[in-house]
Amino acid sequence: MSASAADRVVIARIGAAHGIKGEVRVKAFTATPADIAAYGPLEAPDGRLFEVSTLRPAAGTNPDLLVVRFKGVADRNQAETLNGIELSVPKERL
């Protein structure tokens, strides 16, 4: 059972699809962007859970942008449906 919204902290937001293999751009709100993978499954507001499979820094000058592949997202069509989803974790995981 997921924690209430008041007991959760948004740590990232999914952006546009990146490439054709299911990767997405993710804006991290953590001090060290790659740490989003260390918090375990990330939860969307609708209750879906996302587990980071791979991540790397996105090209460019914004250090908070990552290119992420989530387990179960296999192609660009699936990735495009995720744009704008905020991802959170329970406060106690921080």
Q: What is the pTM of this model?
A: 0.91
Structural domain that includes position 33: 5-93
pLDDT score of 94 more than 50: yes
Predicted pLDDT at 2:
52
Where residue 53 sits, what CATH number does that domain have?
Answer: 2.40.30.60
Give the pLDDT mean for 32-46: 96
Predicted pLDDT at 1:
43
Give me the DSSP letters along 60-87.
Answer: SS-TTEEEEEETT--SHHHHHTTTT-EE
3-state DSSP percent of the chain in helix, strand and coil, to 5: 20, 40, 40
- Count how many domains the chain has: 1
